[in-house]
Structure 1
Amino acid sequence: RMFNFSKIQLGLLIFLLFPAIISCLWWAAGSHFLMDPNSICRKTKRLSGKQAELCQTEPEIVNEMVKGMKQGMRECQYQFRNRRWNCTNHSKLFGKILQQDIREKAFLYAITAASVVYAVTHSCSMGELLQCGCANMLAPAPALLSMKPGSEGAAWEWGGCGDDVDFGYEKSKQFMDAKQKEGKSDIGSLIDLHNFEAGRLMIKDFLRTECKCHGLSGSCAIQTCWRKMPHLREVGSRLLERFDGAFKVTGGNDGKTLLPVGWNIKPPGTHDLLYSAKSPDFCSLNRRTGSAGTRGRWCSGHSQDTGSCDLLCCGRGHMEGRVRAEENCQCRFRWCCMVQCKKCIIEKEINICL
């Protein structure tokens, strides 16, 4: 039930950057975007100073950002696969979502910012970008020292190829925050900036330490350790938790602060997601709000989670049926080194929302 990207839908990956440059990028987008990052810069006339500078001087980094946005879209679709809003990439509906300061937009902006950090940093570690490489770990941080695996008392040192997450973080911040910082102080821009940062911090603040042992007979007398980013799936899951507990906010009188709505509510933290408008219920097709509805969606007739037929079908009921599908079966390992499988036709029970 994952989504396939058509040429027009690939433009939506760029569409996540900023509503201000959507119209320029949308119709110009095609599959060539991922191959030619310069087309983003050529066909977009309203890039801000920092964005234009990055396009002119480091187009290969823009290419990695586009890859990151594609990863972010897929992660969004995975995390919301069993929910009424399933991060559909239908062009007109998707655009309406980004015009509202709702929870769904908050998640989209956060996972996009996180995915851009992830993609750029990963390319640095793989040696695919000339501007960066492995992290320079001259002095271990106390927090990381307490996280190191291995036996107590073993000598260890920083080494290997740690992820230079600071480089990816700065590039994401430089490009994605630029439009919102251009003299704007409205509540929408403040919320966008916060959610961008929340996504980036889900990478930067959750680095893990990996170590490799060295010594005779596997004694692990010495360990070499380095910092690695969390997996993007882990980041998506953390952001989904923040989505469920997102803070509704309003603007302060000074025009520069955001205040939580309600009495005795603690201020939101840096990892929290923010929104200011109520989301639609996403039960029925509504082009004005960006809701695709849930009619025709597969649901679970037995579970009680968000993918259950009761919740996903919004009380309309569901239709039961069976489908035939081809799957690998009777798989055997053949020396050396392959797995051979037969194709079997199986029947599956399905439930479809009415």
Structure 2
Amino acid sequence: MDMRPVLVALCLLLVSPITGHWWASGSQLVMDPMVICKKTRRLKGRLAEICKKEPTVLKEITKGMSLGTKECQHQFRNRRWNCTTTRRSLRKILMKDTRETGFVNAITTAGVTFAVTRACSTGELLECSCDKAVKRKGNPRMPPEHPAIGSMADGDWEWGGCGDNIQFGYSMSKAFMDAPHRKRRDMKMLVKLHNNDAGRLAIRNFMRTECKCHGLSGSCTLRTCWRKMPPFRDVGNRLKERFDGAAKVIPSNDGRSFIPEGPTIKPPSRLDLVYSEDSPDFCKPNRKTGSLGTQGRHCNATSPGVEGCELLCCGRGFDTYHTKEKVNCQCRFKWCCEVTCSTCLEKKAISICR
């Protein structure tokens, strides 16, 4: 499936304040970052500068949206809603304010932050560079611990190398993804801006410290350390956990913020995802909600989890088919240094929801 029109249409939705016309061009759109700006001509401030003067940044922003979409599909691959990019479904999903919408907004904004920051570090953007001067409060002789190197209390160390310029990626993502919505203060926009920021913070607040040893014969008498973004899969996993624990919110009395729906719900932090509308069950096709249903989906007949046939098929039952596939077998190590294998046919059961 060609995802380019879908991804650009998603971009238009995220930046356009006129949500009723976000799918106007449909499949005629191509993966051109400038399309985003052409469809939102009434631009001001930093967003206008990006669109008019920084096409290379737009290219990285589009890469980031694609990265976020792919991660969304990975995280929801075994659930009733699988982050489908089918246009009519995605359009309906994003017009609501459900948990799923919150995750899409957060992971897409995180993808933009990640892609722009990475482009700074690799020298692909003239507008920025890697972070070469990290300032840290406290004793400069005591850098933070890192799982790969343990405690670095012994020996000297200094900040250096080419750290990830997360501040530039964060600010660029904020300018591009949030700017069109800042003047609006309805509930949907408040929730959207909150989830956008949660996506960015899932990267910025979890930067890692990496170090390189220097010294004779690998003695590591001096270490050079820098800050690096977490792998994007870790970002996706973290936001998926936030999705599972997302808080339902309602407008506060001042009309400029939100509060938890009930007294037993913990007030969400900046890192948490929020939503204001309940999700459909996604069991059956429904044009109104954008649900495609789960009929025909592959499921795991032996799993009690969300990917199991009982839950994924919504109690409708499933059919199991047996197939054979070629696999390597009877592998042997041959001195020196080769592994030889035979090809065997292995039976495989495939379960599909009715």
TM-score by length of 2: 0.89
Whether the 8 Å CA contact 1:13–1:66 is kept in 2: the answer is: no
Superposed CA RMSD? 2.9
Whether the 8 Å CA contact 1:242–1:273 is kept in 2: the answer is: yes
State how far apart, in whole Å, the 1-side matches of 2:201 and 2:127 are.
22
Task: Give the superposition deviation at 1:12.
Answer: 3.7
Task: Give the superposition deviation at 1:328.
Answer: 6.8
Which one of the candidate residues 63, 75, 82 is aligned to 2:71? 75
Corresponding residue of 1:37: 33
State how far apart, in whole Å, the 1-side matches of 2:47 and 2:343 are.
50
2:17 is the counterpart of 1:20:
yes
Corresponding residue of 2:174: 173
Corresponding residue of 1:154: 155
State how far apart, in whole Å, the 2-side matches of 1:184 and 1:212 are.
47
Which has the larger displacement, 337-346 or 113-122? Answer: 337-346
Which one of the candidate residues 127, 143, 146 is aligned to 1:145? 143
The percent of aligned pairs where both chains have the same amino acid is 50
Corresponding residue of 1:102: 98
Any unmatched runs of 5+ in structure 2?
none
Cα separation, partners in 2 of 1:32 and 1:327, compared to 1, 3 Å = farther
Amino acid at match of 2:102: A
Corresponding residue of 2:321: 321
Whether the 8 Å CA contact 1:107–1:273 is kept in 2: the answer is: yes
Task: Give the superposition deviation at 1:341.
Answer: 8.7
Whether the 8 Å CA contact 2:16–2:22 is kept in 1: the answer is: no
Cα separation, partners in 2 of 1:42 and 1:265, compared to 1, 3 Å = closer
State how far apart, in whole Å, the 2-side matches of 1:328 and 1:18 are.
49
Task: Give the superposition deviation at 1:5.
Answer: 3.3
Corresponding residue of 1:11: 8
Task: Give the superposition deviation at 1:220.
Answer: 1.0
SS of 1:178's equivalent in the other structure is helix
SS of 2:213's equivalent in the other structure is strand
2:62 is the counterpart of 1:66:
yes
Amino acid at match of 1:352: I
State how far apart, in whole Å, the 2-side matches of 1:132 and 1:340 are.
50
After superposition, the C-alpha distances for 1:240-275 in whole angstroms (9 at most, x for unaligned) are 111010000011111111100112433110100010
SS of 2:58's equivalent in the other structure is helix
SS of 1:188's equivalent in the other structure is helix
Counting matched residue pairs gives 348
2:85 is the counterpart of 1:84:
no
Whether the 8 Å CA contact 1:25–1:43 is kept in 2: the answer is: no
Task: Give the superposition deviation at 1:303.
Answer: 1.2
Corresponding residue of 2:242: 242
Cα separation, partners in 2 of 1:212 and 1:258, compared to 1, 3 Å = same
Cα separation, partners in 2 of 1:156 and 1:187, compared to 1, 3 Å = same
Cα separation, partners in 2 of 1:178 and 1:332, compared to 1, 3 Å = farther
Whether the 8 Å CA contact 1:250–1:258 is kept in 2: the answer is: yes
Task: Give the superposition deviation at 1:46.
Answer: 4.6
Task: Give the superposition deviation at 1:162.
Answer: 0.4
Amino acid at match of 1:243: F
Any unmatched runs of 5+ in structure 1?
none
2:46 is the counterpart of 1:50:
yes
Amino acid at match of 1:306: V
SS of 2:320's equivalent in the other structure is strand
SS of 2:224's equivalent in the other structure is strand
State how far apart, in whole Å, the 2-side matches of 1:69 and 1:10 are.
7
SS of 1:85's equivalent in the other structure is coil
Cα separation, partners in 2 of 1:47 and 1:247, compared to 1, 3 Å = same
Corresponding residue of 1:289: 289
Cα separation, partners in 2 of 1:91 and 1:122, compared to 1, 3 Å = same
State how far apart, in whole Å, the 1-side matches of 2:85 and 2:236 are.
18
Corresponding residue of 2:300: 300
State how far apart, in whole Å, the 1-side matches of 2:231 and 2:322 are.
36
Amino acid at match of 1:240: K
State how far apart, in whole Å, the 1-side matches of 2:38 and 2:213 are.
49
State how far apart, in whole Å, the 1-side matches of 2:65 and 2:202 are.
16
Report 1:217-236 matches (<5 A).
217-236=217-236
Task: Give the superposition deviation at 1:15.
Answer: 4.1
State how far apart, in whole Å, the 2-side matches of 1:332 and 1:212 are.
39
Whether the 8 Å CA contact 2:327–2:346 is kept in 1: the answer is: yes
After superposition, the C-alpha distances for 1:20-57 in whole angstroms (9 at most, x for unaligned) are 35635662666742xx4223323443545432321001
Corresponding residue of 1:190: 190
State how far apart, in whole Å, the 1-side matches of 2:91 and 2:204 are.
29
After superposition, the C-alpha distances for 1:134-177 in whole angstroms (9 at most, x for unaligned) are 11324234599222535532210111110000000000000111
Task: Give the superposition deviation at 1:313.
Answer: 0.4
State how far apart, in whole Å, the 2-side matches of 1:102 and 1:307 are.
21
Amino acid at match of 2:170: Y
SS of 2:210's equivalent in the other structure is strand
